[in-house]
Amino acid sequence: MKLKKLLRFKRAPRVPVIRLAGVIGGGMGPGRRGLSLDDLASAIDRAFDVKNAKAVALEINSPGGSPVQSALIAGRIRKLADEKKIPVHAFCEDAAASGGYWLACAADEIHAMPASIVGSIGVISSSFGMEGTLEKLGMERRVHTAGKEKGMLDPFQPEKPKEITHLKKIQADMHDGFIDWVKERRGERLKTDLHKNLFEGGFWTGRQALDMGLVDSLDDTRSKMRTLFGDEVKLIPVVRKKGRLARLFGADSAAQAITDGVISAAEERSHWTRIGL
Residue 97 is assigned to a structural domain of this protein? yes
- DSSP reduced 3-state for 202: coil
What pLDDT does 258 receive? Answer: 42
Residue 228 is assigned to a structural domain of this protein? yes
Query: What percentage of the chain has pLDDT greater than the value 70?
Result: 80
Residue 179 is assigned to a structural domain of this protein? no
Query: What percentage of the chain has pLDDT greater than the value 90?
Result: 59
Q: How far apart are CA 49 and CA 47, in angstroms?
A: 5
Here the CATH number for the domain that contains residue 223 is 3.90.226.10
Query: How many C-alpha atoms does 150 have within 13 Å on its Cβ side?
Result: 6
User: Domain span at residue 224?
Assistant: 12-124+188-273
- For 215-227, write each residue's pLDDT tens digit: 999 999 999 999 9
- Shortest CA distance to 92 belongs to which of 55, 117, 125, 66? 117
Question: Mean per-residue pLDDT for 146-157?
Answer: 80
Q: How many domains does the chain contain in total?
A: 1
What sign does the CA torsion over 199, 205, 209, 211 have?
negative
- Shortest CA distance to 213 belongs to which of 241, 187, 174? 187
Output the pTM of the full model.
Answer: 0.82
Q: Within a 10 A sphere around the Cβ of 20, how many other Cβ atoms?
A: 26
Residue 135 is assigned to a structural domain of this protein? no
| pLDDT-derived band at 3, boundaries 50, 70, 90 | low
β-pairing, 56-62 with 14-21? parallel
Residue 62 is assigned to a structural domain of this protein? yes
β-pairing, 14-21 with 217-218? unpaired
- For 226-271, write each residue's pLDDT tens digit: 999 999 999 999 997 665 545 454 544 444 444 444 445 556 666 6
Residue 133 is assigned to a structural domain of this protein? no
Instruction: With a cut of 80, say whether residue 105 has pLDDT above it.
Output: yes
Residue 39 is assigned to a structural domain of this protein? yes
- DSSP reduced 3-state for 107: coil
Task: Give the torsion through C-alpha atoms of 133, 28, 19, 200, to 10 deg.
Answer: 40
Residue 158 is assigned to a structural domain of this protein? no
Q: How far apart are CA 8 and CA 6, in angstroms?
A: 5
Q: How far apart are CA 267 and CA 66, in angstroms?
A: 12
Asked if 127 and 92 touch (Cβ cutoff 8 Å), the reply is no
